[in-house]
Amino acid sequence: MNNHSPTVLYPEIEPYSQGRLPLDETHTMYWEESGHPAGIPAIFLHGGPGSGSTPTHRRFFDPAYYRIIIYDQRGAGRSTPLGEIRENTTPHLIHDLELLRQHLGIDRWLVFGGSWGSTLAIAYGEAHPERCLGLILRGIFLCRKQEIDWFLYGLRNLFPEAWHNLVEPLSEAERKDILSAYYQRLMNPDPAIHMPAARTWSTYEGSCSTLLPSPATVSYFASDTVALGLARMEAHYFSHNIFLPENSLLENVHKLHNIPATIVQGRYDAVCPIVSADDLHQAWPQAEYIIIDDAGHSAWEPGIQSALIKTTDRFKTLIK
């Protein structure tokens, strides 16, 4: 009998299979599988871009039911080389997912992504709707200009202390274009220049990610691997409008209308404000839309974590 509470993370598990998949001459992807080898395949898309995945991400899924696939996108986490921006675009990441799916012999899978993971999940679903059993999306980020401007300037309205820390290393002139100023520092080959910039950028995001202050969240974002991957990839993708045509995610969302989907959004998500989730739901009314009224951005906010686990449990009956 399964005594698992539908609001609590599933127990810790170890992968039964893992590997490194060469993507091209530059990049190699880390991947792993856990849970039920013959179960319903579920792929977890981490945020950032560039933040990498963690063992805790396995725990959103019932390991007795799901074949849980966790991986690090190119330039992130355990994929190598860390922070590498060459040959790193959204179309590359979509292609990588297809490469991994084929490598693992999977026909269709449940796609789960939060924050940037939601961006990539939507982009992948629009490119390959026939490969998606369903979509579970959290903290919607459509990477439009207004969302990037909000992240770099608007967040000052809610988190002025964190914003002051972000711009403190910059000159007055540089503060008029925070993205360019950080891009130059983050792409500098000297670790004495790029690592302090990466930690400051990443800590800024971590500080704004929860409804209530969370030192553990900030500490995670400040760690070297997360900071470098996250800051470099975000500055790279934001500088290039995620390498997709403007507003293409919303304009192509009709391709997802027949796929079972749930959107989970924190009401007080400061990093990815709820207006983007609302815009997505207006364009995709078939998707279930769950607003968590006492949550910010992080997947570890109690209400969001609970809703995501309930959703993966409910999808067991939707995709049999």
Q: Which helix (H) or strand (E) holds 22?
A: strand 17-22
Q: State mean pLDDT over 298-318.
A: 96
pLDDT digits (tens, 9 = 90+) for 173-210: 999 999 999 999 999 999 999 999 999 999 999 999 99
Distance separating alpha carbons of residues 68 and 44, to the nearest angstrom: 8
Tokens representing 264? 């989970």
Identify whether the C-beta of residue 240 lies closer than 8 Å to the C-beta of residue 270: no
DSSP label at 106? -
pLDDT confidence of residue 69: 98
Q: State mean pLDDT over 212-225.
A: 94
Among candidate residues 34, 51, 53, 115, the one labeled active-site is: 115
pLDDT digits (tens, 9 = 90+) for 80-119: 999 999 999 999 999 999 999 999 999 999 999 999 999 9
Answer whether residue 9 is part of any domain: no
pLDDT confidence of residue 1: 46
Are residues 80 and 207 located together in one domain of the fold?
A: no
pLDDT digits (tens, 9 = 90+) for 109-136: 999 999 999 999 999 999 999 999 999 9
Q: Which of 3-12, 124-133, 203-212, 243-252 has the lowest mean pLDDT?
A: 3-12
The domain of 250 spans 17-143+244-318
269 tagged catalytic: yes
pLDDT digits (tens, 9 = 90+) for 38-59: 999 999 999 999 999 999 999 9
Among candidate residues 297, 298, 306, 313, the one labeled active-site is: 297
Are residues 111 and 233 located together in one domain of the fold?
A: no
24 tagged catalytic: no
- Point out the domain boundary residue: 242, 275, 298: 242
Identify whether the C-beta of residue 237 lies closer than 8 Å to the C-beta of residue 264: no
46 tagged catalytic: no
The whole-model pTM stands at 0.97
- Point out the domain boundary residue: 242, 261, 279: 242
Largest Cα–Cα distance in the chain? 63
pLDDT confidence of residue 4: 79
Residue 41 amino acid letter: P
Among candidate residues 118, 269, 281, 298, the one labeled active-site is: 269
